[in-house]
Amino acid sequence: MQISTFRIGEQLYGINIIYIKEICNLLEIFPIPGAKKFEYGLMNLRGNVISVIHPSLFTEYDNNLLGTKNKLLIFKNDDYLRPLLDIDLLKKPMSLGKDLIGLIIDTISDVIEIDDEKEIGPLTPNIPEKLNRILSGVIYHNRQLILIIDLQKFNKNISYIY
């Protein structure tokens, strides 16, 4: 499977490319008064409302993430997932909810090809709890550590955290 990798700060993260709807520039983001810190705001993407998540959900890295270089990684919702389910591209049926959710990242990096999930290694115990909650494993690629995000865990976390 293909893993799309991206950076937040120095750290390299990865996510199964099949779950990514698109990557776009940050447009004007409208904050949500009263929301949690990581619930950064709402963005209008061609008439659709994207709920923008700040990486503070899982990392302490909190540099200015609103530069012109920064991107928004938008995940698929059930509407985009359904066609994949229909043609059996997904191994098991899953749900990502009805909302379009985007994660602010620093830069987008390479797409790497891995042999199935065998290459994904287990999480090491020294990973902070906050981060642990959204990961499915790690990959060592070109002597770099890539943290693989599990989108279902990610979604669950933004709904139930704290």
Partner 1 sequence: MAKSEDEELINTFLNDIKEALAKLEENLLHLESSTDPALVNDLFRAAHSVKGGASFLEYKPVIELSHAMEHLLGKVRDGEYTPRQDDIDALLEAVDMIKICLDNPEMSYDITQLKVKLSKNFQDNENLELKNEEVEKKSRPALTLAMETNGPIHAPPPEKNQTLVPDRVSDQVPDQVPCNLPKANETLKITVLKTNKLVSLASELVLARNQILSHQQKKKNADYGGKNAFQNIDRVTTEIQTEIMGMRMQPISIVFNKFPRIIREIANKINKKIKIEIIGENVELDKTIIESISDPLNHIVRNSADHGLEAPEDRIKNGKSAEGKIILKAYHAGGQVYIEIKDDGRGIDAEKVINKAIENRLLTKEQAQTLSTEEKLKFIFAPGLSTAEKVTDISGRGVGMDVVKTNIEKLGGHIDIETILGKGTALRISLPLTLAIISGLIVEVDNLTFAIPHIGFEELLRVTSKDYHDKIFNVENCRVLKVRDELLPLVHLGDCLSLKKNEIKREALAEKGPAKKDLALTNSETILSSIPSKKELPTRWNLKILIVTTGNNKFALIVDKIVGFEEIIVKSMPAHLRYLNTYAGVTVLGNGKVALIIDISGISQKNKLIFDKIQNAVLNFNSKNASKGSAENASVLIFKNNQDKHYAILLSLIRRVDKIIHKDIQTYNGKQFINYMNDTTRIIDFNSSIDMNVEGERKPPAQCDNDGKRLIVIPKNLKRPVALLIGQGVETREIPLKLEENGLGLNDPFVSGTAIIDGKITVLLNIYNIFEHYENDCFSLNKSSLKSKKQIKILLVEDTQLYLKLTTDYLKEQGHQVITADNGKIALEILLTGTAVDLVITDIDMPEMDGLELTENIRSNPQFKCLPIIALTSITNEKSIKRGMQIGINRWLPKNDKINLISTINEIVEAELCK
Binding site for partner 1 (CB under 8 A): 28, 30-35, 37, 39-40, 42-44, 47, 49, 51, 54, 56, 62, 64, 66, 97-99, 101, 155, 158-159
| Smallest distance, partner 1 to C-beta of residue 161, A | 9
Please enumerate in sequence order all residues whose Cβ is within 8 A of that of 40, keeping only pairs 6 or more positions apart, or say none. 29, 31, 52, 53, 54, 104
| Smallest distance, partner 1 to C-beta of residue 15, A | 18
Residue closer to partner 1 by CB (options 47, 122) is 47
| Smallest distance, partner 1 to C-beta of residue 47, A | 6
Helices (H) and strands (E) in the chain, counts: 3, 11
- Tokens linked to 93: 């049926």
Residue closer to partner 1 by CB (options 65, 114) is 65
How far is 109 from 13, CA to CA, in rounded Å? 9
Tell the residue number behind the tokens 């099949």, with chain if given.
18
Residue closer to partner 1 by CB (options 30, 140) is 30
| Smallest distance, partner 1 to C-beta of residue 144, A | 29
Q: What residues does 149 pair with on adjacent strands?
A: 135
